[in-house]
Amino acid sequence: MQTVYIETTIVSFLRSRQSAHVVSAARQLLVRRWWENERPKHDLVISQYVVDEASRGDSELADERLLALNGIPLRRAAEESLP
């Protein structure tokens, strides 16, 4: 299985309120479809930076972002700069 690094933008689009902006709404839809259909086909990893960023902002949305990230392994700091 291919390993995919999930960065904060992905989880933000996944758990954000529906955008009225057409481009942002399309990105939200694409991310949600990928998360549902493609996510199970990959080994996901995140970094502590993603957890920290996902924790910020609106507390309700932050909780939803953290819930979506729950169970995804943290990539060790030494690996974060590797491809």
Q: Is the pLDDT of residue 79 over 70?
A: no
User: In total, how many domains does the chain have?
Assistant: 1
d(CA 60, CA 55): 10
The C-alpha angle with vertex 63 and arms to 46 and 20, in degrees rounded to 5, equals 95
Residue range of the domain that includes 15: 2-79
Mean residue pLDDT across the chain: 91
Q: What is the pLDDT of residue 81?
A: 56
pTM of the shown model: 0.81
More confident position, 11 or 1: 11
Mind listing the pLDDT tens digit for each residue in 19-45?
A: 899 999 999 999 999 999 999 999 999
Q: Is the separation of the CB atoms in 8 and 51 below 8 Å? A: no
